[in-house]
Structure 1
Amino acid sequence: MLRFENQNIEFKQEYMSDIQKEVMAFANAQGGTVLIGVRKDGMVMGVENPDEVMLQVENYLKDSLALDIMPFVSIRMIEVEEKQVVEIEVSTWTNRPYYLREKGLKPSGVYIRKGSSSQPMTDEGIYEMIVENSGKSFESS
């Protein structure tokens, strides 16, 4: 059994299409890890076909997120408690915020990791992140 979710770790029992929200939230914060094959309570269940899951995750992230997040994401199979788990390791970069292509740069399309959950960013937070990453001062704009 693994520890509980926190600012840097998210558990998913199985691959689900909302995975991009978690990956984006980590990339917009300080980075983190998503483990597919682990229940919310930390119980390791494993995944039946890790190669297929890794391919699904990679393709879905490429198709659903803007900006190109893939250089900052590592997807691999690891063994935990003798079970196969898919690990998605996300680092952060200055080219933020990342957002859902279909929603755009608005609260419903931009998430950030806070504590053990991924939350929508406010319009002000999105603007502040854009200004911060452009190298300009937020106060002087």
Structure 2
Amino acid sequence: MQNEDNRIEYKRELNSKVKREIVSFLNTNGGTIYLGVDDETRQPLTISESKRHEWEEKLSQWYTTAFYPTPFSLIEINPNDDIFNIKVKPGRHKPYAINGEGFTPQGVYVRNGSSAVKASNELIKRMIQQNQGNDEFDSEQSTNQILTFVELEKTALGKKD
């Protein structure tokens, strides 16, 4: 397995620190968090089906309660892959924060190399300024620029390439 970097994070367990990693990926370029992996040896651990189910339920709950703004369609939970993983797309409405902490360095994290680090007040202010006027759905740019009816049908049917 690869080393941790600005797009990859390994965690042994699902704990509150994973929220920081998710927020840091939302606020930067996205990435993947692999759960049940020793982050020193990068070796997958044996995770029971019940533990996978527990993690999936907790993450599904976090999806709507743990982050602000809610990261609609930006977090993909993959409990059935060989290694349980969470794929996080870069957010469109930055900054994202851990709910309850607000837009402060205690709630807003960014990715710096292989670490989630607290965003400075200046960076948080800059993200807010860049997002102003960008919160209307109709004004958002699609990340998929292959805008054909074939692509629309794939999306509507939930198919992947």
TM range (shorter): 0.7 to 0.9
In the alignment, is the contact (CA less than 8 A) between 2:74 and 2:91 conserved in 1?
A: yes
**Matched residue type, 1:55:** E
CA distance in 1, matches of 2:61, 2:17: 13
Structure 2 unmatched ranges of 5 or more: 135-161
2:159 maps to none
1:128 maps to 126
The DSSP-based 3-state class of the residue aligned with 1:34 is: strand
Instruction: Report the Cα offset of residue 70 of structure 1.
Output: 3.9
CA distance in 2, matches of 1:37, 1:106: 30
Structure 1 unmatched ranges of 5 or more: 80-84, 137-141
The DSSP-based 3-state class of the residue aligned with 2:111 is: strand
Question: TM-score scaled to structure 1, two decimals?
Answer: 0.86
CA distance in 1, matches of 2:103, 2:76: 24
In the alignment, is the contact (CA less than 8 A) between 2:71 and 2:91 conserved in 1?
A: no
Question: TM-score scaled to structure 2, two decimals?
Answer: 0.76
1:51 maps to 53
**Matched residue type, 2:119:** M
**Matched residue type, 1:62:** T
1:117 maps to 115
1:75 maps to 77
The DSSP-based 3-state class of the residue aligned with 1:25 is: helix
1:19 maps to 18
CA distance in 2, matches of 1:114, 1:16: 20
Instruction: Report the Cα offset of residue 135 of structure 1.
Output: 5.5
Q: Matched residue pairs, number?
A: 130
Using the aligned pairs only, state the percent identity: 27
What are the superposed Cα offsets for residues 4-57 of structure 1, whole Å, 9 maximum, x if unpaired?
111000000111122111000000000000010111121111422212211112
Instruction: Report the Cα offset of residue 61 of structure 1.
Output: 3.6
1:139 maps to none
1:98 maps to 96
CA distance in 1, matches of 2:17, 2:64: 13
The DSSP-based 3-state class of the residue aligned with 1:71 is: coil
In the alignment, is the contact (CA less than 8 A) between 2:6 and 2:115 conserved in 1?
A: yes
CA distance in 2, matches of 1:118, 1:93: 15
Q: Once superposed, what is the RMSD of the aligned Cα atoms?
A: 1.5
